[in-house]
Amino acid sequence: MKLSVIYHSASGNTARMAQVIAEGMKLVPGVEARAFSIDAVDPDFARESRCIVAGCPTYVADTSAAMHQWLEKEMGKLDLPGKLGGAFATAQYIHGGGELVIQALLDHMLTMGMVVYSGGGSKGRPVIHLGPVAIAEAGDVEALMEFDDTFRIYGQRMAEKAVALFG
Ligand SMILES: Cc1cc2nc3c(=O)[nH]c(=O)nc-3n(C[C@H](O)[C@H](O)[C@H](O)COP(=O)(O)O)c2cc1C
């Protein structure tokens, strides 16, 4: 089963965390997961994906403009209705608006007819209510690494749900 992680990243933080989510997805047997920048999506792979997780950096407590544009103009071409959707964000500050980004991404997915999921509090620790947020200044890989386990587990949970629904 194919799963896609699609992201915008200007300075690499979100790209790195997208790869960690894909790594977590691949821990689930039968899952083929790939991460794509919004400017290099493999449309066939994404259309065939049962689950799409989207993520971007937080810009002024909102989605980055590039991501917003992609959501409006490109995402709808990926056969979205009925697919499982999830969202993540990166931000520099813990109170910088990362969860607002996730909420905006999930709202967009709901609007496109997707079935959104995170696991919420039902999976125990780490508790991930809406989706994971990694906090780091641009290019601070050491700070990002603190979030790797949570992002990997999030990817695994999304893949397990995709397999339970569609496998
Ligand atoms: C134009 C701009 C606006 C930003 N606004 C916020 C913000 O409102 N809140 C926040 O926590 N971080 C903000 N940041 C920091 C980035 O969200 C953060 O460093 C992110 O991880 C960068 O991701 P990237 O390396 O994938 O581009 C901003 C960065 C830029 C360039």
Note the pLDDT of residue 152: 98
Best substitution site from 17, 19, 20, 59 to test ligand 1's pocket, by max atoms within 8 Å of Cβ?
59
**Closest by Cα among 10, 9, 68 to 21:** 9
3-state secondary structure of 13: helix
Across the chain, which has 167 residues, the per-10-residue mean pLDDT values are 98 98 98 98 98 98 98 98 98 98 98 98 96 98 98 98 97
Residue 149, CB-side half-sphere exposure with 13 Å CA sphere: 4
Best substitution site from 7, 21, 36, 58 to test ligand 1's pocket, by max atoms within 8 Å of Cβ?
58
d(CA 83, CA 48): 10
**Closest by Cα among 158, 166, 17 to 98:** 17
Mean pLDDT of the chain: 98
Prediction pTM value: 0.98
d(CA 114, CA 110): 5
Note the pLDDT of residue 94: 97
pLDDT in tens, 73-90: 999 999 999 999 999 999
Note the pLDDT of residue 134: 98
What is the set of domains in the chain, with CATH numbers?
A: 2-166 (3.40.50.360)
Note the pLDDT of residue 130: 98
Please give the sequence-ordered ranges of beta strands (E in DSSP) within 68-117, or none if there are none. Answer: 84-91, 115-116
